Amino acid sequence: MIFDRGLAFALLLALASGVSPTNLRAQTTDAAIAHHVFTNGLELVVIPDHRAPVVTHMIWYKVGAADETPGKSGLAHFLEHLMFKGTAKNPAGLFSRIVGRIGGQENAFTSSDYTGYYQRVPADELKKVMEFEADRMTGLVLTDDVVLPERDVILEEQNQRVGNNPGARLGEQIDAALYLNHPYGRPVIGWRHEMEQLSRDDAIEFYKRFYGPNNAVVVIAGDVEPDAARALAEETYGKVAKRFEAVPRQRPQEPPPVAVRSLTLADPRVEQPSLSREYLVPSFATAKKGESEALEVLAHILGTGSNSRLYRALVMEKGDAVSAGAWYQGSSLDMTKFGVHGAPRPGVTLPQLEAEIDGVIAETIDKGVSAEELERAKTRLIADAVYARDNQASLARWYGSALTTGATVDDVRQWPDRIKAVTAAQVQEAARIWLDRRRSVTGYLVRQPGAQPEKKS
């Protein structure tokens, strides 16, 4: 099972990267996408796509690591694993074996805001996976026999994904320093000392509190008609009784950021030093109108691809960096992150590289972006959205992440139009307001302690 900190749009689009522009043939029109809410609160999104006789079936729960009780970090992800441990009706492993037997694929993922499960199966097997998924929505049976070994599995996952990955360790430290109060500062995988204490009771309590039809969004993309999918959903998910009243997802919010922060992580396994900076910025859900879209365009102009400002200045022109880029994670229920990063060529220090990045940002704030850059970024972002639409799984994932982070089906539909409407002035304003170093944490990843002194005279 994978976990992610939230879905960066760029990352989402990467899922669709196999599709080249010349192949472009968007099968799914916005109008064909159906959205329905059942009486038990379950939301259904159906995205017809008849190019192949397969369906992607996803269920997204509106719960993630940021909803955990403090001290129980990693619980949302742990429960994601435990959801494969069987129910009274279906013993552990049966669901996965059947998906495999019919030639399907499955996976699951956890972020700070959501937990999702998906299967890609032949279209005529859709009902079967819906039955299994509806059954484990409230029917999970957990015993210490299965819980404790699975805890070893997530501990080993933490070890592999974070413990043995200097870049991931850096990211954890930056997040923890960026969020002073909000639980987004907590790793999705969990803090190891807390993961080690997670129990069956913790998992069951969390499950009963958050897993139910009125906290779930089912997204079905593929060779099925909305009416048929809805009928199947009614027969399966529609029969699951509500077991709690949904409550507003209110997490502790951030105080206004005021201090420029930096940190250095030394790890002997680092081959290539790098720096990574995150700014605390609005997400789509928290932004004023147009602001999130301007940040999306800004990230593209600053740091997506070889035409971006950071890449051109640092890698191509000065040659001081081997990589440089920027990103923005728009889909987030609360205040989110805008990132810049770079890796220096041998002989260039991280502070030098950082000064160059700061120069590029300062110039963007001072002089804004050109009409040409703006058009290129918008065209590219909109084209990427079209490619995403062309990919069944990525489109399903887009809707799922939107609906579990405060956006609506219409928000997703209107996304290209909103990007189209972004002006150069908005991009400059977004850079000026949000790329303020007092909102940021800069992390240095180095091989040896002291190799990159943190202070200058």
Catalytic residue IDs: 80
Pick from 186, 230, 300, 397 the residue near a copy of itself by CB under 8 A.
Answer: 186
Query: What is the secondary structure of 292-323 as a DSSP string?
Result: HHHHHHHHHHHHSSTTSHHIIIIIIIS--EEE
Q: By CB under 8 A, which span of 37-45, 92-100, 108-116, 436-444 interacts with a copy of itself? A: 436-444
**Residue type at position 413:** R
Is 64 a binding residue for a copy of itself by CB under 8 A? The answer is no
Strand partners, 87: 140
**Shortest distance, position 362 Cβ to a copy of itself, whole Å:** 11
Q: Residue 276 interacts with a copy of itself (CB under 8 A)?
A: no
Minimum distance of a copy of itself from residue 15's CB (angstroms): 31
Handedness of CA 409, 412, 416, 418 (dihedral sign): positive
Least distance between a copy of itself and beta carbon 342 (Å):
13
Task: Kindly state the helix (H) or strand (E) to which residue 58 belongs, with its residue range.
Answer: strand 54-61
For a copy of itself, which stretch binds (CB under 8 A), given 218-226, 253-261, 322-330, 385-393? 253-261
249 binds a copy of itself (CB under 8 A): no
Binding residue for a copy of itself (CB under 8 A) from 62, 85, 120, 169?
A: 169
Looking at residues 375 to 414 of the shown chain, list those that interact with a copy of itself (rule: CB under 8 A): none
Q: Residue 284 to residues 91, 253, 296: CA-CA distances in angstroms?
A: 41, 16, 10
Dist CA 53 CA 59 (whole Å): 20
**178 or 224, CB closer to a copy of itself?**
178
Nearer to a copy of itself, 367 or 456 (CB): 456
Question: CA-to-CA distance for 69 and 204, rounded, in angstroms?
Answer: 13
CA distance 148 to 139: 19
Between the alpha carbon of residue 290 and those of residues 6, 183, 297, 363, 417, the distances in Å are 21, 26, 11, 22, 11
Q: For the CB of residue 222, give the shortest distance to a copy of itself in the complex, in Å.
A: 41
SS3 at position 208: helix
When asked if residue 258 is in the footprint of a copy of itself (CB under 8 A), the reply is yes
Can you give the binding site for a copy of itself, defined by CB under 8 A?
70-71, 73, 169-170, 173, 176-177, 180-181, 183, 185-186, 191-194, 250-253, 255, 258-266, 349-352, 354-355, 437-438, 443, 449, 453-457
